[in-house]
Structure 1
Amino acid sequence: MLRVRGTAVTAAAAVLASASLVTACTPRGATPAGNAGLARFEHQEIIWHGCKDGPKDTEGAALDQAGARCAELTAPLDYRHPDGRTIKVAVSRLPATDSAHRHGTLFYNPGGPGLPVRYLSLQLRRAAPVLAARYDVIGMDPRFVGRSTPLDCHWPAVSIGSAGADRGTFDETVRLARDLASHCDSRRSVLPYASTRNTARDMDVIRSALGEHKISYLGSSYGTYLGQVYTQLFPDRTDRVVLDSTLDADAFGPELTRTLGPSVTRALRHWAAWAARRDGAYHLGSTTAQVMHAISRLDQNIGRVPVKVGTHTVSSRNLPQLLWNVTAGDDDETYAGYSADVRVLVRAAHGDAVRPTPTLDQVLTDLAAPDTDATFAAQTAIECADRAAASRDPETYYRDIRQHRADDPVFGPLTRTVTPCTFWPTTPAEPPTDVHNSVPLLMVGATGDPATVYQGQLAAHRDLEGSRLVTLRGAFRHTVYAGLFAPKNACIDEAVNHYLTTGVLPSHDSTCRN
């Protein structure tokens, strides 16, 4: 996962139990409903209380003002041993605004992994009032994230960064990844249980404690993987499910981002065409080719000599992270801000004294800071618990980077380098979830999605045999519903809202236009 704009970007996510518990009547990997050890969790009393935790908790105060209630439920650390250690899982509940027409309970996960969700459920209510009218919205901080028994390894960095221009900068990423992994060594006893499978089981414990026979679900980016895992483990406990920008479940893990460079480059080329039409404002080139050449020269120049941008230093280690912000959206406002950022970087590479834009200043400040909110550590722990690193030999990654220097020069060193999972102190407790089911659900996504690429969405569509897919054509954005993280599209919103309010899936796949 790549951290940009001060948060874990869901684009890269992607990211991100036990056969002894499985019976002939239980979905593979699920927990039998009659398991006596789980009964105390499934039937626990939920003690609801206010969400604000102290005078500085502005998010809790906003939830309270919106009428939300919060709680902490108990769940097993290891579902194979429900009588063993336990953890706390924090949730918020926003009641349906139209109680007379309430349909049920909807769980929301906007992505990550590693993002707290309690507060983000309020953003969903604001963005989709039609949905908020019909559902009690549950925002669950996934295990070890936010307020759910947080996992903090006290990491000194919020990202590994790019492998850079040469062997020396690659070795810097190796040293940092190894050091970060070693910081988590003291948490060995919990790391194998940070998996998405266990988060899905936590969701089902909460479903049962709420007294709900079935739950609805809305997930985007990594949240689509969590949704797929839940439908695989608990197919009879889902009502209406929407997956926005769906990950290919077979690809999720520490190397999910490895092949994203070309898709981000395609998004970069789309922006370049936009900037070329506005050369009078940004002076980056009057054709797409000229603007792309300017990016190439910027990458080469900073690869040779780092530059100052205000009080910050931009080098081959962090430049690709700044350029990655092209994935933030494809509307005029977002592209204008990105163009202004690139213009500052180009001028700095030419030797001009420059000041960063407010966005550049914030991103560079965030990238230089320690992992104070533990987002990067939690995100990594989830990815490492879901699937082991493809290789624990750094040379494998360096060879891959060198092999793709020509066809993936800007983003390849960022996406293909080592991660802390390469040196992780534990291995997954379970194999990855094999998603293949016929649960009815709705998928939406864009053909130019730079993070959950469209071919991966189609692969997920094939594995989810009961799904219908509504495709937004001509858009280069990650997530498409309700304008939560990217520009709104009325056609997509209508399709999602109709399904979530009526329960009627489209009779066939369809398309929307950007």
Structure 2
Amino acid sequence: MSASTTRRSKAFTAVASFTAVLAATATATTAAPANASASATDTTPAPTTATATATATTESNPLARLHNQRIHWHTCALGPDDETGRALDVAGADCAGITVPLDYSDPGGRTITVAISRLKATDTVHRVGPLLLNDGGPAGPSLHMPVTKSKVMGEVAGRYDLIGMDPRFVGRSTPLDCGWDLGSALVRSAGADLAGYREEVAIARDLAERCERAHGGVLPYVTTRNTARDMDVVRAALGEDTLSYLGYSYGSYLGEVYTQLFPGRTDRVVLDSVNPPERYSHTLLRGAEAANEAALRAWAGWAAARHGTYGLGDTRGQVLATVEHILDAAAEKPLRIGDAYRLDEHVLPALFIGGLGSDLAERRADLAGTVRLLARAADRKPVEPTAALAGQLEFLLTGAGSAATSQMTAIICGDVADRRGVGSYWREVERSRERFPLAGPLANNITPCEFWDRPAEAPTVLDNDVPALLVAATGDPRTVYAGAQAMREKWPSSRLLTLKGARQHGLYGEYGNACVDGRVNAYLRTGRLPAHDLACAVQP
């Protein structure tokens, strides 16, 4: 459920709408969990100024040494092939590592590093303060975001220190990798029959056990609540009283958790493609089946109008029949894609679902091109993948996707692992398959979280009201629009900005809608929410 900073990565060039590309390993001893009460406010005192923070004692603030740490800023590029670092350097950004506790119940114990970047405010007269950015995921690296978001912000960017942060165990922060031989742990489909589902159960159990053997001492601390606590250490180390925040998809959930743990420490808050706590689950797309099937039908109509280009059928029904033929063929025997890849019924649906995260023409064209190749493979004809498809398959089917899916799985399972019983998933799959033949078996399939240790802390419960700008599309196939409406009710002081008629996940700076971008920039510029909820229309 991530929103990426480019239209390319919004679907991971097909799959990073679920995961983000990350990275190595850490171990530690297990300690007692911090803040066992799910809705409890974090008790770390808020500094009033950088000077006041520096006077805090370890008795009154056990995190004082970390709040007062000196930040050592440096250039961002790690080498000649580091495109992200080079782009940050060209933009004039700095990078640093922030020291945070592995376990917040033991702040004097083992520490890890969280990587941040900063593009400093240039309009010092109107400076607001830091704006921390999160790209979603879970486990989406966000170090790059000051460069990409400054473009859509325009002159408003000059009022903020734009802060990118790779969450703990992600990207350049102390990383984690379970050493899995696939990148699809959470986006697999149950398959056509019970035998196929039993294979999924075995895979999920094996992945959980392998990650526990590799990183059992660390896994209890790979959580959203701890990432939110890291955010507050970053705030304090920057010498700031408050943070402004922009988060996409899962990043909206992270922002919600931060406001609960640290009330009063946010200034301007924008949550794009909103995911409320009650909809945050280890079955990522559960509840979004209808939206994805609707997106599939809409795409099929688009492809039918371009039958001369893609040859998938000249009516919506014919295009959908082509999709069904591909799925049936993969269930019978894995599709052969080039010499290197075999695409079975468990992984194939992720390619379709990954391509349905946006209704932009270029994204629809990408999916149509992929389906054209898959249709040939379903007819058992030789097929050579495009470079983009080869990258997707390498990520999904090999160890190239291990780090990304390890980190994503660890965060979600660490947050909300819920042992429902192996049979319950199959019953849900069978019920949903009738109405949602593509999305149902994927959205309701078993995951490694069924075999994960129970979370060290209960999931966060929101009992606050935060003035925030919530941004959502009515046809979002990832974090459905009803979730944004629910969040608006939960936070009466917030306002909801709706893009009507779009089937898009991630809007601000992603969709190219001038109305949405302008409304968000107006709020970031003035700090004043609109008097009432607003709506924008899709532009031709």
TM-score when normalising by structure 2:
0.88
Alignment of 1:191-270 (within 5 A): 191-270=219-298
> Residues 351, 10 of structure 1: CA spacing in aligned structure 2 closer, same or farther, 3 A cutoff?
closer
Secondary structure of the residue aligned to 2:466 is coil
| Candidates 396, 413, 431, aligned match of 2:458 | 431
Considering only aligned residues, what root-mean-square deviation do their CA atoms show, in Å? 2.3
Counterpart of 1:319, as a letter, is: L
Q: Answer yes or no: is the 8 Å Cα contact 2:69–2:237 preserved in 1.
A: yes
> Residues 395, 274 of structure 1: CA spacing in aligned structure 2 closer, same or farther, 3 A cutoff?
same
Number of the residue aligned with 1:136: 161
Number of the residue aligned with 1:472: 499
Number of the residue aligned with 1:61: 86
Structure 1 residue 373: Cα displacement: 6.3
Structure 1 residue 352: Cα displacement: 3.1
Question: Which segment drifts farther, 438-447 or 320-329?
Answer: 320-329
Number of the residue aligned with 1:285: 313
Structure 1 residue 446: Cα displacement: 0.2
| Candidates 124, 129, 132, aligned match of 1:104 | 129
State how far apart, in whole Å, the 2-side matches of 1:260 and 1:279 are: 28
| Residue 498 in structure 1 maps to residue 522 in structure 2 | yes
Number of the residue aligned with 1:482: 509
Question: Which segment drifts farther, 77-86 or 489-498?
Answer: 77-86
Structure 1 residue 438: Cα displacement: 1.7
| Candidates 16, 19, 22, aligned match of 1:9 | 16
State how far apart, in whole Å, the 1-side matches of 2:14 and 2:88 are: 20
Alignment of 1:34-433 (within 5 A): 35-160=60-185, 161-185=188-212, 186-311=214-339, 312-371=341-400, 374-391=403-420, 393-424=421-452, 426-433=453-460
Q: Answer yes or no: is the 8 Å Cα contact 2:36–2:457 preserved in 1.
A: no
1:282-313, Cα deviation, whole Å (9 max, x unpaired): 23233323322322232223222322232332
Gap regions ≥5 residues in structure 1: none
Counterpart of 1:490, as a letter, is: A
Q: Answer yes or no: is the 8 Å Cα contact 1:46–1:209 preserved in 2.
A: yes
Secondary structure of the residue aligned to 1:219 is strand
Structure 1 residue 166: Cα displacement: 2.2
Structure 1 residue 265: Cα displacement: 1.0
Structure 1 residue 273: Cα displacement: 1.6
Q: Answer yes or no: is the 8 Å Cα contact 1:435–1:464 preserved in 2.
A: no
Counterpart of 1:193, as a letter, is: Y
Counterpart of 1:379, as a letter, is: M
1:396-455, Cα deviation, whole Å (9 max, x unpaired): 22222122221122222222112111111x321111111232211101110000000011
State how far apart, in whole Å, the 2-side matches of 1:176 and 1:419 are: 9
Counterpart of 1:439, as a letter, is: V
Q: Answer yes or no: is the 8 Å Cα contact 1:227–1:243 preserved in 2.
A: yes
Structure 1 residue 343: Cα displacement: 1.8
| Candidates 451, 455, 475, aligned match of 1:448 | 475
State how far apart, in whole Å, the 1-side matches of 2:338 and 2:19 are: 28
Q: Answer yes or no: is the 8 Å Cα contact 2:252–2:275 preserved in 1.
A: yes
Secondary structure of the residue aligned to 1:480 is coil
State how far apart, in whole Å, the 1-side matches of 2:229 and 2:278 are: 20
Counterpart of 2:379, as a letter, is: H
State how far apart, in whole Å, the 2-side matches of 1:443 and 1:422 are: 32
State how far apart, in whole Å, the 1-side matches of 2:161 and 2:174 are: 24
> Residues 227, 8 of structure 1: CA spacing in aligned structure 2 closer, same or farther, 3 A cutoff?
farther
Alignment of 1:12-27 (within 5 A): 18-19=34-35
Secondary structure of the residue aligned to 1:342 is helix
Q: Answer yes or no: is the 8 Å Cα contact 2:394–2:400 preserved in 1.
A: no
Secondary structure of the residue aligned to 1:438 is coil
Counterpart of 1:263, as a letter, is: A
Structure 1 residue 7: Cα displacement: 7.9
Secondary structure of the residue aligned to 1:313 is strand
| Candidates 44, 51, 57, aligned match of 1:32 | 44
Structure 1 residue 113: Cα displacement: 0.8
Structure 1 residue 106: Cα displacement: 0.2
Question: Which segment drifts farther, 303-312 or 132-141?
Answer: 303-312
Gap regions ≥5 residues in structure 2: 3-8, 21-32, 46-55
Secondary structure of the residue aligned to 2:399 is coil
Number of the residue aligned with 1:510: 534
Q: Answer yes or no: is the 8 Å Cα contact 2:134–2:164 preserved in 1.
A: yes
> Residues 386, 29 of structure 1: CA spacing in aligned structure 2 closer, same or farther, 3 A cutoff?
farther
> Residues 49, 7 of structure 1: CA spacing in aligned structure 2 closer, same or farther, 3 A cutoff?
farther
Q: Size of the alignment, in residue pairs?
A: 502
TM-score when normalising by structure 1:
0.92
Question: Which segment drifts farther, 474-483 or 84-93?
Answer: 84-93
Structure 1 residue 21: Cα displacement: 9.4
Secondary structure of the residue aligned to 1:174 is helix
Structure 1 residue 330: Cα displacement: 0.8
1:114-140, Cα deviation, whole Å (9 max, x unpaired): 122112332222343334222111111
- Indicate the percent of aligned positions where both proteins have the same amino acid: 46
> Residues 181, 399 of structure 1: CA spacing in aligned structure 2 closer, same or farther, 3 A cutoff?
same
Q: Answer yes or no: is the 8 Å Cα contact 1:103–1:134 preserved in 2.
A: yes
> Residues 251, 471 of structure 1: CA spacing in aligned structure 2 closer, same or farther, 3 A cutoff?
same
Q: Answer yes or no: is the 8 Å Cα contact 1:70–1:92 preserved in 2.
A: yes
> Residues 100, 8 of structure 1: CA spacing in aligned structure 2 closer, same or farther, 3 A cutoff?
farther
Q: Answer yes or no: is the 8 Å Cα contact 1:8–1:376 preserved in 2.
A: no
Counterpart of 1:232, as a letter, is: Q
Counterpart of 1:139, as a letter, is: G
Secondary structure of the residue aligned to 1:469 is strand
Structure 1 residue 342: Cα displacement: 1.2
State how far apart, in whole Å, the 2-side matches of 1:260 and 1:460 are: 16
State how far apart, in whole Å, the 2-side matches of 1:10 and 1:331 are: 14
> Residues 20, 316 of structure 1: CA spacing in aligned structure 2 closer, same or farther, 3 A cutoff?
closer
Structure 1 residue 84: Cα displacement: 2.4
Question: Which segment drifts farther, 498-507 or 270-279?
Answer: 270-279
Counterpart of 2:238, as a letter, is: L
Structure 1 residue 18: Cα displacement: 4.3
> Residues 21, 407 of structure 1: CA spacing in aligned structure 2 closer, same or farther, 3 A cutoff?
closer
Structure 1 residue 279: Cα displacement: 2.3
Structure 1 residue 81: Cα displacement: 2.4
Q: Answer yes or no: is the 8 Å Cα contact 1:327–1:478 preserved in 2.
A: no
